[in-house]
Chain A
């Protein structure tokens, strides 16, 4: 069962520079395992340690984003075309900043309830 897989520039170091490779599998997870047997390291760039599809990539089966098809459980058929693209995202609000704000508001919440408690005590 041959499935055509389009590889983005950033991952072509795993495919010897090839833009398109072929693989096999009944699901996207199977396909990635099959590809990884010939292009070692590719799967780790697409799947997290906890076994979920990485947020930094978009994977499509034909014209559909696999996030809407069951992600790694997405069913594949002979002749399907899989496209991998780097997700394009970012913005001013870094993860670190988000964490700091969350901590800050948690601390502010704690201060507020402490103040509430002291008012109630009076």
Chain B
């Protein structure tokens, strides 16, 4: 499960919307071993493409060194898909090189709907995990979990049994 502050999710979605229709990418660093994403670092997409993203290698060296100096690690690595669902492509899987990271995907295909999903990708195996968004000032034990890209705007609150 990925637990992440609402303010960071909002910043990631804003970055993805801003760069749409190109794919956006970045990192959320957190204290090493904490599994807590704390510091949002939007990165340049060196590919500047609607279907591919690639960190600029020099920017990545700078950011990774900075994390090392601060005893942080990349807790979340995110990117957007701009016309398709928020699910890892084969390219995403073959490149996934941070076994401890949560791979967060944002789809910007629907302008009004927030579609966020999180995955672990280890040795080519993709495992989806729930995303728990921590709302400010809300008892964390009362927060709902969202999965499969649902957000409060799209959750169907009607009772089943139709």
Contact = CB atoms under 8 A, between A and B. Distances in A.
Interface in A60-103: 60, 63, 65, 67, 83, 85-97
A96 B23 contact: no
Looking at B54, B57, B82, which has the most chain A CB atoms within 10 Å of its CB?
A: B57
Given A9-B99, A10-B98, A88-B25, A93 B51 contact: yes
Contacts of A88: 25, 43, 54-55, 60, 77, 95, 97-98
A65 B82 contact: no
SS class, residues of chain B in contact with chain A: mixed
Interface of A, secondary structure class, is: mixed
A91 B92 contact: yes
B79 A91 contact: yes
Closest 4 CB pairs of A and B: A86-B97, A93-B51, A90-B92, A91-B52
Interface of B: 23, 25, 43, 47, 49-55, 57-58, 60-61, 64-65, 73, 77, 79, 81-84, 88-100
Interface of A: 8-10, 56-58, 60, 63, 65, 67, 83, 85-97
